[in-house]
Structure 1
Amino acid sequence: MSCIVSVFLTARICPVLTLLQKDEDTSKIFPTLKHSPSFEGFTHLASDGVYRSFSSSGEVVDYKQLSPAEIAMMLEFFEKHMHSESLQESKKKFEGVDGRNVTDLEQLLHPGPELRPVRFRE
């Protein structure tokens, strides 16, 4: 099984699967999303405040619009796993962002290139 959590558009945290297995409190931080049938997809928090589950081919499998408090909790979790510069840059991207304001189904299921993980921006 391959699962990568990609967060903050530019920061990809590879050892997160291991961290998630060791930390039982992550269910309070990471919303439960459906996974791709192959389990080779990953999750990604985009700058619009929507946490999406992607298949390995780039299709959105599931999503959740996050509140500012939920976004802050995710940032806090990754604080110990990111360089301080990357973390500060990420915090700036999410200032004033409320994913619950994203209601367009097209954007939720087919985010534009600027909202997609780096590997799917072409």
Structure 2
Amino acid sequence: MKRKVLVVDDESDMVIFLSTLLDTHGFKPVIAENKSEGLRKAAEEEPACVILNAMMSDENGIDMYIRLRRDEHLKKIPVVMLSAIPQKTFFQYRKFRDGSFSQGIPEPEAYLEKPPEAEELIRQVRTLTHG
């Protein structure tokens, strides 16, 4: 049985790239286009991993990540955060803005800049899903 990977991104080109890549490497992509749909599908589908665009409109990706980590049933799902912003800059910005990653919310298990290298993304997903 293929492991489910939830892809939450509002960019259709990135969704097509990620879902094709995941399917080609033996995963079952589950797609969500926004925070609400992503949270609902995370609860319903019980994915082995989430690939999340951090900078969806209105920072909904970050809001979704925080909600995942605060939910007792969803907080154990590993997350690969994607963003066009370099990792160090992203985390400095988050600390400055609201401190979310320093106030009990752990950093994501993986962080990759967009567009991610296909091999690196699959390596991260395999590691996080133990597959």
TM-score, L = length of structure 2: 0.30
Q: Which has the higher helix share?
A: 2
